[in-house]
Amino acid sequence: FADATAKIECWLDGYKGDLYGQSLTIRILHEIRPLQTFDSPEQLIAQIHRDVAECRRLVERYAAANRTPV
């Protein structure tokens, strides 16, 4: 993960398909946190759970404010 290429990781809540090799258009609503490194897999997993909760909260807030599904 330590290369200089800019990347965005996009999580699609509830999506179960395979999108590798596909083109997507995404709307960035909010950056949830800066890049982090983790000392253990357990710390990474805990942060992923916090990230998921934060993403769901932000999507709900955005949808309510714009009265449109996202």
Per-position DSSP letters for 38-52, written without gaps between them: -SSHHHHHHHHHHHH
Report residue 35 CA to chain centroid gap. Answer: 12
Amino acid at 48: I
**Which pLDDT value is given to residue 43?**
98
Residue 1 has pLDDT above 60, yes or no: no
- How many domains are contained in the chain? 1
45-51 contacts at long range (C-beta below 8 A, 24 or more positions apart): 51/11
**Which pLDDT value is given to residue 69?**
61
5 is in which domain, residue-wise?
Answer: 1-70
Using 50, 70 and 90 to split pLDDT, how confident is the model at 8? confident
- Please write the tens of the pLDDT for every residue from 14-69: 899 999 889 889 888 888 999 899 999 999 999 999 999 999 999 899 888 887 66
**pTM of this prediction?**
0.69
